[in-house]
Amino acid sequence: MLRIIILAIVFLGLGSLTIWTIQNKSKVSDSFVESLHTHFAIEDIDQVQRIFMVDRTGKQALVERIEGLKWTYTNKVSGKQYLANSNAVFSLLETLKKVRVREPVGKPAINNAVKSIAMESTKVEIYGKNKKILKVYYVGAMTNGGTGNFMIMEGSETPYVSYIPNFQGTIGTRFITTEEDWRDKAVFRTDKESLEYVQVKYLAPSQKKESFRITKTSADKFEVTSPDPSVTPYDQSIVNNDNASTYFEDFDVLSAEKIIYNKKKRDSIISTTPFAIVSYKANYHNEAQTFRLYSVYNPDADRGDGMAGHRQKIQRYFIDIDEDNFFLGQHLVIRKILWGYTFFFQKDAVKLLEDEAMSKKSFPDNKEEIREERRKRKEEKAKENQ
């Protein structure tokens, strides 16, 4: 009973933050063929509709199934909801299904195990349809021997050592509660059938005339115009519909490298002129969706490892939608949407080539001599240390 009191005190404050309060405090019986080995596992993972997690620091995460493999993540502190990271969802569902009990904690170690869970653990509430509670348990730290993680079921007095077969490491990191890890990093998701139009407006004087707006007029027909009134328009009869169709197909998903939460950095970036403004609308949007690209300039055009060579002058972009959606994206990912107006009227298929920039530096002609000199210095240093 003392062990339950310890856990109750630690999670009393956290429990008050939970929307779904557990009314029945009786012991939770196992629904997976009453087997100790699968005590914490969910056999039919498709029945899981909602998972709420809260750790001892107060971080909370609510993930809910929309349909199939689509889930949302809600930050229960801010109340903001986002599309959930599919990799995080898969990892969590896989854990709920595959987690196994290695053994009950031995009596001499029970007190230490309970204290460990009280100090470092995440409470996990798993719900089925109609908010039916399937399981509620606590996931603690790894054992000293690294054989698994301490886990205890809500209402139980017995902690267990749990693990995932053929998995090395702690399972605790799969029950994440941080927004950065749960949010989907996609700037947009759409598909060719739903997409109505895309407009890319370049603001740099040297590229302004390559701005374009592509609109689907029928299943396989497109209209391509220039938003720049100074551009002499092409005849729509020579639009390469194959190229236009390819562009719409590629405008499916754009994933960022990371989400940036630094407000000062965003304020500084968006005060400058963007490289491009991208607008698009699908048939399920009430209005056009817009984001802005800000170039991250690489002045030395190095190879990315500090050595001289050929490399994109622009390797990344800041991507701004609003204060909650500010990203960093890679040029190699984003360039598929950065076509030019003339691309849609050329007869051949569009090939996106690297805009390789000549570095101010260059590789020396005597590379072999330099390597030999380095080798000699290394040998001399080794002799001095002997």
Q: What is the DSSP letter of 144?
A: T
Whether residues 190 and 57 share a domain: the answer is: no
Q: Say yes or no: 162 and 221 in one domain.
A: no
Q: φ and ψ at 221, to 5 degrees?
A: -120, 140
Residues 178, 220 share a domain? no
Do both 30 and 146 map to the same domain? yes
The answer to whether position 91 is within a domain reads yes
**Residue 381 maps to a domain:** no
Number of domains in the chain: 2
Enclosing domain of residue 85: 2-182
Asked if residue 378 belongs to a domain, the reply is no
On whether residue 386 sits in a domain, the answer given is no
Residue where one domain finishes, among candidates 167, 182, 197: 182
What pairs with residue 123 in β-bridges?
A: 54, 138
Residue 257 and residue 163 in one domain: no
Residue pLDDT, tens place only, 128-178: 999 999 999 999 999 888 889 999 999 888 899 999 999 988 999 999 999
* Residue 10: predicted pLDDT: 44
Q: Are residues 164 and 145 in the same domain?
A: yes
**Residue 170, in any domain of the structure:** yes
Q: Are 87 and 110 found together in one domain?
A: yes
Supply the pTM of this predicted model.
0.75
- Residue 368: inside a domain, yes or no? no
Give me the pLDDT at residue 38, please: 83
Residues in the chain where the model's pLDDT stays below 50: 2-33, 308, 310, 356-365, 367
Last residue of a domain, one of 138, 158, 182: 182
Beta strand pairing call for 253-255 and 221-225: unpaired
| Residue that terminates a domain, selected from 148, 182, 216 | 182
Q: Are residues 178 and 217 in the same domain?
A: no
In a domain, 230, yes or no: yes
CA distance 84 to 82: 6
**For residue 305, what pLDDT is reported?**
56
Asked whether the beta carbons of 325 and 253 are under 8 A apart, the reply is no
